[in-house]
Structure 1
Amino acid sequence: MTPRWYPLRLSTPVARHVFGGRAIADRLGRRGLPAGRIAETWEVSDVDGRGAEVVAGPLAGRTLRELTRAHPDELVGPGWRGDRFPLLTKFIDGTGMLPVHVHADDETARRLEGEPNGKTEAWHVLDAAPGATAFIGTREGVDRAELRSALLAEDFGSVLRELPLRPGDTVYVPGGTPHSFGPDALIHEIEQTSDIQQHAMPWNMQDGSPVDPEQRRANVERLLDEWDPAARPHPTPGLRLPPSGDADRVLCCAGPHFALERWRLGTGTERELPAGRVLLLSNAGGAARVRSAGGDDELGPGRTLLLPAALERASITGPADVLLGYLPDLDRDVRRPLLAAGYGPEAIAALHGG
């Protein structure tokens, strides 16, 4: 039986990794988080062991995976098929530095990890201290032996590109890219559904306990096996589309796996949300109103709604500052509107790492 669709509120597992703090609560305004260190809130997740379930309405108790498999056209979009929901979104508190790590790309994930897909991701910087930087890809000319030696010595700056990280920037990080960010950075992340990674640190990110030296050397070798030496993406401010009244729309990133936009609406401004494909709506500002055929919802700070593809109509009313994640048709959703707005191919290519 096909459900009557409405905006879905999901459970959000939290990760208490050692690099976390209280920024998601204190800076973003998220309420209801447990006490203590919170590194990540998994806003929409179908990762094994951290899968979401619906927490309100007629579908309460149904898992995201169950709905994805039973109703792929209505939940994700017409014609889409897969065993897992394809997108993962998080808020990440980099109060401390994240481990230097690599996620495999699709081909490498299938070959070395036995997984159906890799983990390309993008970070949208919500807040960062003045002078904050990130490690993103290796310096030109670095070979495997040099990278191995530097990683084991924790001499990251000698082999990794260290680039500025500014609020409002987005970094599209293809699988195979060595990376890290922090300290003092607050990030919204969108990525392929996966939790595979190889990291180079002598400590475990879950609790800071030491990694056995032999295991660490093995971890670094696997990281090197999954490394793409050519991956050198840059932070980008995104591309602003022509304004419409008291509304600002920036296309932050767009590639074959996902797209991310940021919308800012003035008080009383109402805008239709894209329909016909699944939409992940995450709130980076104060409480906002979302109206749809399924009801009238308040989207609190640091919270996320999943809008199913079959939801016929939905709108958001300002004041609002929200992030919209979706599976794009790159020609219809990205190339054509950006070319019409006067952007060239090079600027458009920068949205997926350039």
Structure 2
Amino acid sequence: MDWYPLRLTTPVMPHVFGGHAIAERLGRTGLPPGRVAETWEVSDVDGQAAEVNEGPLAGRSLRSLVAEHPEEMMGRGWRGARFPVLTKFIDATRALPVHLHADDETARRLEDQPNGKTEAWHILDARPGATALAGVKPGVDADALREALSRGDFDTVMRRLPVRAGQTIYVPGGTLHRFGPGTLVYEIEQTSNIQQHAMRWRMEDGAELDPDEWRRNIDMLIEEWRPEPRPDFQPGLALRAGDDVQRVICCASPYFALERWRVAAGTTARHALPTATILSNVGGPVRFHAQGWSDILEPARTLLLPAALGEVEFTGPADVMLGYLPDLRSDVLDPLAAAGYGPDVIAALGDTVPR
């Protein structure tokens, strides 16, 4: 097969916390009228699985390509039932619900799902004074959490952190969290749509929940909650990638890694593709090249680059996110150690223990 950069369908979620920031601040065109909370840039979630929408593979599902061509898509001898990484643009014009996603063990035990959902948020824009809730305060037990959630008194039990553009926070499965209002995020996570939230309304349409359903939701949330993670925002770690190229590793774990590359005008950056890589544009239009293909990637649009392409080039000015399933040792740990970063500094990126 002649592989090429894949443009995929991107489901749009009009949840009540959304606004117009993805269009107005990032320059995304073609969005439906009304509020837009999320665009799912690369998704293999049941019911929201992407399809290729251009070129010889148009109409093929992402899942079918992964199943039939695992090494060409994912590289490194990978095998799996679905594409393992989910990425989104999220507009938290209003605050998201206080919620969590189960970790792997809990998802299998309580949700009958093959995996949980660990995620990371990279902050693209935030209004002055924006904050996020991430993890609970030390000493909070299940009874105290239940009481606070029932009152809607989240600050009594949760950690409130300042939010600044350019920072990233790694949020392990089971961590209670919320961001917004006034926050624009690029999110990378495990492929899953499981969640439990503590609000009295539905995030899809704002409709009030039946009181019994709301109490059941809180019961399930507490059952899936992990008290230990207390993640913090961090600026990422820079690696040299050539003159006039800034490469920052934003987060890393066995589930995903995320990088941000900024390239000066007239400079061409090159990135090897040992595995499928999600290239999302968070700046102006970008010229890219891959195995004979050349095109423009528009603002707030995404390409999925199969491993079979071998390498991608993009020419500045460029500001792009690169998300992928890493080999932690070769893709993250060894390059950062060679650049002089110590183990404790590297560990702040997320879960950097190879498995």
Fold match by TM threshold 0.5: yes
Residue 283 of structure 2 corresponds to which residue in structure 1? 285
CA distance in 2, matches of 1:190, 1:278: 14
Task: Confirm or deny that 1:95 pairs with 2:76.
Answer: no
- CA shift for structure 1 position 152: 1.0
Residues 65 and 243 of structure 1: CA distance in aligned 2, closer, same or farther (over 3 Å): closer
Residue 12 of structure 2 corresponds to which residue in structure 1? 14
Q: RMSD in angstroms over aligned alpha carbons?
A: 1.0
Gaps of 5+ in 2: none
CA distance in 1, matches of 2:61, 2:267: 34
SS state of the match for residue 351, structure 1? coil
The match for 1:206 among 204, 207, 212 is: 204
Amino acid at match of 1:68: V
Does the Cα contact within 8 Å between 1:276 and 1:311 map onto a contact in 2? no
Q: How many residues were matched structurally?
A: 352
CA distance in 2, matches of 1:5, 1:207: 40
CA distance in 2, matches of 1:81, 1:60: 23
Amino acid at match of 2:9: S
SS state of the match for residue 307, structure 2? coil
- CA shift for structure 1 position 243: 5.3
The match for 2:103 among 86, 90, 105 is: 105
Does the Cα contact within 8 Å between 1:232 and 1:353 map onto a contact in 2? no
Residue 121 of structure 1 corresponds to which residue in structure 2? 119
Task: Confirm or deny that 1:301 pairs with 2:312.
Answer: no
CA distance in 2, matches of 1:274, 1:324: 11
Does the Cα contact within 8 Å between 1:7 and 1:294 map onto a contact in 2? no
- CA shift for structure 1 position 234: 0.4
CA distance in 2, matches of 1:297, 1:104: 39
After superposition, give the CA deviation of every residue in 1:40-97 in whole Å (9 maximum; x if it has no partner).
Answer: 0000000011111000000000010111111111111231111111010000000000
Does the Cα contact within 8 Å between 1:171 and 1:353 map onto a contact in 2? no
Does the Cα contact within 8 Å between 1:173 and 1:353 map onto a contact in 2? no
Gaps of 5+ in 1: none
SS state of the match for residue 310, structure 1? helix
Residue 183 of structure 1 corresponds to which residue in structure 2? 181
- CA shift for structure 1 position 353: 6.1
Task: Confirm or deny that 1:36 pairs with 2:34.
Answer: yes
The TM-score with structure 2 as length reference comes to 0.98
Does the Cα contact within 8 Å between 2:236 and 2:249 map onto a contact in 1? yes
The match for 1:158 among 156, 176, 182 is: 156
Residue 233 of structure 2 corresponds to which residue in structure 1? 235
CA distance in 1, matches of 2:120, 2:250: 9
Residue 193 of structure 1 corresponds to which residue in structure 2? 191
Does the Cα contact within 8 Å between 1:120 and 1:191 map onto a contact in 2? yes
- CA shift for structure 1 position 293: 1.2
CA distance in 2, matches of 1:76, 1:214: 44
Residue 264 of structure 2 corresponds to which residue in structure 1? 266
Moved more, 291-300 or 115-124: 291-300
Residue 274 of structure 2 corresponds to which residue in structure 1? 276
The match for 1:315 among 313, 316, 332 is: 313
- CA shift for structure 1 position 242: 2.8
The TM-score with structure 1 as length reference comes to 0.98
Amino acid at match of 1:291: H
CA distance in 2, matches of 1:87, 1:294: 26
Aligned identity (percent) is: 62
SS state of the match for residue 145, structure 2? helix
Large movers: runs of 4+ above 3 Å: none
- CA shift for structure 1 position 294: 4.3
SS state of the match for residue 141, structure 1? coil
Residue 67 of structure 1 corresponds to which residue in structure 2? 65
CA distance in 2, matches of 1:202, 1:259: 34
- CA shift for structure 1 position 178: 0.2
- CA shift for structure 1 position 252: 0.2
